[in-house]
Every structure is written in structure tokens, then in C-alpha cells.
Amino acid sequence: MIYQILALRLRWYGEATAQLLLRRWQAVLLLVGVLGGSLLVESSHWVLVLLNDQHGMVWRLGVIGLWQGCWFLWVLMQFDQLRGGRFRDFAQSLPLSPQHWRTIDLLVLLVSDTPLFLPFVAAAFILGSHQELSWDALTGGLLIVFLLSTQLACQLAVLGGSTRALISMVFVDGWVAYALSLDDPMRSGMLAMAAIAGLWALVSPLPALLLRAVALPRPVQEIWLLLTRHLFSRLPPLTRLSLGILYRQHRSSMLGKLFNCLLILVTAEGLMSIWRYDGRSLPMALIAAGLVALSASGLFRHLKMAHDDALPFTAALPMPRRWALLGDTLAVLSFGLPFVLAMACTLWDHAGLSALRIVGFVASFALLVLLLHLPQLLSNRNAVMNSSLIATLWTFGVASIL
């Protein structure tokens, strides 16, 4: 029976994500065809960079957490398709043990995660071709096993609805980040223990220990709730409505876009620091702000769908024609502005830009988000192309002015 359930789950996932799978593999084949052998070296960098002795424990811990967060969000973006949707609701009544369901979930995840395996396959290939039997090769292999097993364990926790247990993963990540700073054979021994723990997490659910110890004290939680309620009570009702739609009903989408914007911000900050904040910093910040605006503008569609669902009620109210535009724009700006303000502070502190140019930089981002409201709502098929064209022309125009 388990094989029949697995076949049906894979068929459900394939039919539910047929277009997504086609676009995903088209992108992978395009990259492989264009970049060729250099793709192996480039894609393996963020795996093998953990073995570099120049980085400290905190930096390594951040990279490990970034990998696990990427795989975590990969499941959130296609949660219903991976879990089985309506078929899962029916199959839960069948006489299968939790271990059988865990095995089926793991096999479905292995199919859905195939593009994410590329950096790790490339890293294993480079380690095998450049390193003979040595401590470095053993350390790299154990690191790859640990990363893959813990990332799959995070995805299994998401499918099982036990995401709070992921806090126990932080201690294992800290163990590995510390072990990578040691010398062999101690480093390989500690990594072997972590790899075994990661493989065990694939078989058994993650323990939900120490949650009470790390939870915020009750007075702190009450003060936080009081402050947030006081702040939201002063906002206009339409703005509160848009914020509630985004941050309560679309949390998985918000997390995915948060991860994308963090990657954009870290990449831009890293390039500006490599260039020592010379004249290329402002154009780089403008490009990064355009990418953040593109990512954030996708939230307009979630807001529009919510307004369309409520149209039978709101149509009977004496509301202006574009009553939701201001609230929706402010809600989307509240998501994207922190990333742009972080880049603005960097330009002010390190690049020495004037206050007028900093204000122009932030204002150009706000106006671009407002402009991207139209292509996101007018055309579903060509929204990405039109938004990218507008963002490119706007960024080029602002760069020529500033």
C-alpha cells in the first residue's frame, strides 16, 4: 500500500505543479547550457566556503541557517502540493503508521528538491576531483551530509506542522559552526557526530525541548501586545485592513519574499564593501532597491484577491472607486522600506552621500512601488515582464539623475 500511496502523492504533486516544474527545469537547463562547467564551481561556492578558515563561527552559523531557511521556504511556497492537498485528507484514514507517512513525505521532498541539490552535487564533485583521501575531503563530505540531512529534516518538520521544534536545530548548527573552526581530526570527529544526528532527524521527529526556556517571559509578551495594539489603533482603518491581509493571511508568501529581499540586501552590501564604497555604490543600491520593489510588488496581487472576495460586501458601501490604493501601497511599503533604509544608512555612513541624494534614493523606491501597482493588477500573464521593464527603465532614469 505504501508504494501505491507514494505513486499517487507524486502524481498529485506533478499535476499540481506541472507548469512550475517545467519553468524550474527550463531555468536549470538554461544555466547549465550557458555556463557549462563554470556552473559547478560557482554553485558549490556557498557550500565549500564553510570550510574556509578566514571566516568565524558567527559567519558560518549564519550561512548554515541561510541554507536551512532556503529549504524551509521552498516547502512553504508549495506546501499544499507537497502535502497532498485533498488527497492527503482522504489518505489519513488509511491504516498507515506515522513512520510510513514520514517515509512518503521524504521521498516526495527528494523529488521536489532536485534543483536545490545542484550546489551540493557540485561541491561533492569538486571535493572528489581536487581532494584525494585526506582530512579535508572527509570534512567536506561530512559537512555535505549534515547540511542535506538537516535541511530535509526542516522540511519534514514543516510538513508535519511542528515548526516550533526547529529551535532545537540551532544548537546543532552552533556545534557544527564551532567544529569547523577546529583542527583535524577533532573537526572531523565532531562533524561525524553532527552528521549522525542529522540522519537521525530524518527518521525521528525533531525534539521540542527547551521551548519554555527560550520563550519570552509573560510580562514581556503582554508589553509587546500592548505596544502593537496601541500602534495599530492609531493607523487608518484601511491601512490596518491591508496590513492584516498581508501579515496574517499570507505569512508563507511574506516569509518567502523576506528571504529574497534579505539575499538582495546582503549581496548589495557585500559588493559595496568589496568596492570600498566608491562611485559604484549608489548604482548598486539603486539596482538592489529595484529588485526589492519587484519582489514586494507581488504582494499587490494578494491584496487584490482579498478585495475581490469582499467585493459583494464593499460594493454596497459608499466608498471611492480606488479606496484600497492608499492602504495597499502603505502596506507594501512597510515591507520593502526597511531594506531600502538599511542601504540608505550604508550610503550615508560609508559612501558619504549627501542628505538630498539619500532622500531622493528612498523617494525613488516609494514611487517605483506605486508605479508597479498597475502592471501587477492589469495583466496576470505579462505582469512579470511589464514590471521588470518598468523597474529597469525607472532605475536607469533615477541613476542618471542622482
Give per-residue pLDDT as tens, 148-160: 999 998 888 888 7
Higher-pLDDT residue of 131 and 174 is 174
Higher-pLDDT residue of 70 and 21 is 70
Q: Cell numbers of 248, please?
A: 496574517
Q: Cell numbers of 38, please?
A: 563554470
Query: Cα 277 vs. chain centroid, distance in angstroms?
Result: 27
182 conformational bin, left if phi > 0, alpha if psi -120 to 50, beta if neither: beta
Give dist(CA 365, CA 290) in Å, integer.
7
Give dist(CA 136, CA 138) in Å, integer.
5
Q: How far is CA 344 from CA 228, 273, 285, 368, 392, in A?
A: 26, 14, 8, 16, 20
Cβ-proximal residues to 170 (8 Å cutoff; 6+ apart), any chain? 65
- What is residue 92's predicted lDDT score, i.e. its pLDDT? 67
- What is residue 214's predicted lDDT score, i.e. its pLDDT? 47
- What is residue 2's predicted lDDT score, i.e. its pLDDT? 66
Instruction: Find, among 71, 81, 72, the residue nearest to 12 by Cα.
Output: 81
Amino acid at 325: L
Q: How far is CA 351 from CA 151, 243, 269, 282, 369, in A?
A: 38, 34, 12, 8, 25
Q: Average the pLDDT over each of 44-48, 229-233, 284-288 and give the range with the smallest value.
A: 229-233
Contact 236, 327 (CB under 8 A): yes
- What is residue 212's predicted lDDT score, i.e. its pLDDT? 45
Cβ-proximal residues to 345 (8 Å cutoff; 6+ apart), any chain? none
Give dist(CA 71, CA 203) in Å, integer.
18
- What is residue 146's predicted lDDT score, i.e. its pLDDT? 92
The pLDDT of residue 94 is above 50: yes
Q: Cell numbers of 323, please?
A: 479606496
pTM greater than the 0.85 cutoff: no
Instruction: Find, among 8, 215, 188, the residue nearest to 94 by Cα.
Output: 8
How confident is the model over 113-123, as a mean pLDDT?
84
Q: What percent of the chain has pLDDT over 90?
A: 12
Contact 68, 169 (CB under 8 A): yes
